[in-house]
Structure 1
Amino acid sequence: MSLATLLDPRFKLIGIVSPLKATETTKRLVTECGALIRTPEAVPQENPSTSQPGEQETPGNKLGHKLDQTVKMSRRTKNATADATVEVQRYPAELNIGRLEDPLNYWQTQKHVYPNLHKPAVTFLCTPASSVPCERVFSKAGEVVSKKINRLNPKTVEKILFLNKNQ
């Protein structure tokens, strides 16, 4: 819930009462964003069997190539964490949007400004599951089918409920 609060542009850090909790949530968001940046979809993988022009396929070259790949991956990891940190620090510094504005519209317009925060924001700001509409239909069905009215055809009950809910 704290990540959803932080990623909601109406509240951001203001919605998190405890400063300790706000710091923990910010660190967790940096970790989440860094992990997203490092995923194989975000980083194109090079073919390890491709060698530079003029290089021979010798065991020494394979070892050198392996070391080069390790260094590149280390740079990507450091850059991913740095990029995530910069983005997470920039986001709360912006002004909050109005309380009645739609946070998902905000993230749709800001996905180019905060490309690494966009995906977690959309994930954490999803609509919460609710059984209220289902409960209302069952409640209405209980009113339609009662001890006094119990000989209705199931198709008729279905049509009555459909018409009642879609007036």
Structure 2
Amino acid sequence: MEGAIPKIIKFGFKNYVLDVGEKKRTAICKACNSKIRDTSTTTSNFIRHHKEKYEVYIHTKGTFDDTQPQISQFIAQGTVQLYHCNHQQQKAITNSILSDLIINCNMPFGEATDLSQGEKLVTISAVVPCILSLNHHLENHKESVRYLGGLICSLQESLQRLFEGIFVNVRMADEQNDVATLPFSDPLYLIAAVLDPSFGTMWLTHDVLTTENVKEAVSAMIKNLILKEDCKPTPTTTDEDEQMPVAESESQSGLFTAYRKKQKRDSCSSPQIQLNQYLDICDGQSCLQFWAMNRHMLPSLFRVAVRVMSVPASSAPVERVFSHGGVIMRHHRSQLSEKVLSN
């Protein structure tokens, strides 16, 4: 259907083909006739190709030359007839606006959409880094764009209003009387972001646009939240279960028994020590792989991470399951049992 074609493909590409079976989409660039492929749920390859073409245009044509006419020249009375769609200067302004819109403004938003709505499952840990990174991106481009400064300011205001609780918690907005009622004010978002080794505290250093003293205060607050979360009881573990491996290891004897006891004592260090050790070793690793490898070395933090990482970042995966179920459970398959469906 024509209405289902993404806007970026409508604008800069032709001969659009959607392969539902292979979950692929292809189109040909209008500028260079290159054939671009992407999955059926993302448009990042098309946006990236478009970005490269406009970067070449800006470099060769001087789109941001100060001698170029302003938009007001095209809408002022008495001059409308002097310009038309094929006028060279009007083309320069049009391409400059599109460059601001596609490259400087919307590119990170497209990546965030692909991240949260694509096939990959994303946990709640990506929410805070994603929102603060988008805000930082808009803040950096307020002065650099030529025509769309107002649009970028409006986008930033909307972002800060919709996710006000996050900005208040990281001290980038004034604290309200009742923070708990603000959207996304749950401290779980901050805890999950820090306990994801692919983010750690890097987002706090780079994207929290405050002074160093405020960043240190926010970091200390998040650490306290993690330690408090560790104190909460879990239904799957008890004190007896945690002490059982220690007693078993003490009853063993052998050539390297002392080494194993030392390792066990290290893994039972206090949550504060485990948290400091985690912050020293996390460096952009995969979340699942990291906690699978360090679950015994950081048992207290592992229990907290399991609880917070089980929350999805968006409802897209659940909605996709229901959509797939609707495709399979047709009315003419009335004899399809739950057991067959689950397989």
Instruction: Give the TM-score taking structure 1 as reference length.
Output: 0.50
Residue-by-residue CA offset, 1:23-44 (whole Å, 9 max, x unaligned): 32211002222x159x992379
One of 260, 275, 278 as aligned partner of 1:91: 278
Q: 1:21 to 1:43 in 2, by over 3 A?
A: farther
2:186 pairs with 1:6: no
Equivalent residues of 1:88, 1:117 under 8 A apart: yes
**C-alpha distance in structure 2 between counterparts of 1:153 and 1:108, whole Å:** 41
Deviates more, 1:17-26 or 1:85-94: 17-26
The structure where strand makes up a greater share of residues is 2
Query: In the alignment, residue 9 of structure 1 is paired with which amino acid?
Result: P
Secondary structure, aligned partner of 1:9: coil
- What CA deviation, in whole Å up to 9, does each residue of 1:97-126 have, x standing for no partner? 34xx3x123112112221211111112112
Are 2:192 and 2:308, in contact at CA under 8 Å, matched by a contact in 1? yes
Corresponding residue number in structure 1 for 2:225: 28
Aligned match of 2:334: 154
Q: What number of residue pairs does the alignment pair up?
A: 110
CA contact (8 A) 2:192 2:305 kept: yes
CA contact (8 A) 2:200 2:284 kept: no
- CA change 1:11–1:119 in 2 (3 A) is same
* Contact 1:104 1:122 (8 Å CA) reproduced: no
Deviation at 1:86, TM superposition (A): 1.9
Code of the residue aligned with 1:135 in structure 2: it is S
Q: Which amino acid aligns with 1:86?
A: I
Kept in 2: contact 1:87–1:114 (CA 8 A) = yes
1:119 aligns with 2:303: yes
Compared with structure 1, are the counterparts of its residues 153 and 107 closer, same or farther at alpha carbon in structure 2 (3 Å cutoff)? closer
Quote the residue 1:109 is aligned against.
293
Write out per-residue CA displacement over residues 47-80 of structure 1, whole angstroms, 9 at most, x where no aligned residue. Answer: xxxxxxxxxxxxxxxxxxxxxxxxxxxxxxxxxx
Check whether the contact 1:36–1:42 (CA below 8 A) recurs between aligned residues: no
Q: Could you tell me which amino acid in structure 2 is paired with residue 112 of structure 1?
A: H
Matches within 5 A, 1:35-54: 35=231, 41-42=238-239
Higher relative contact order by CA 8 Å / sep ≥ 6: 1 or 2?
Answer: 1
Identity within the alignment, %:
15
Q: 1:43 to 1:30 in 2, by over 3 A?
A: farther
> Is this contact kept in 2: 1:6–1:12, CA < 8 A?
yes
For 1:154, the aligned partner's letter is: S
Aligned counterparts of 2:306 and 2:272: Cα–Cα separation in 1: 19
8 Å contact from structure 1 (residues 10, 97) kept in 2: yes
Which runs of 5 or more residues in structure 1 are unaligned?
45-81, 146-151
Structure 1 counterpart of 2:322: 134
Q: Please say if residues 4 and 125 of structure 1, whose CA atoms lie closer than 8 Å, have aligned partners that are also in contact.
A: yes
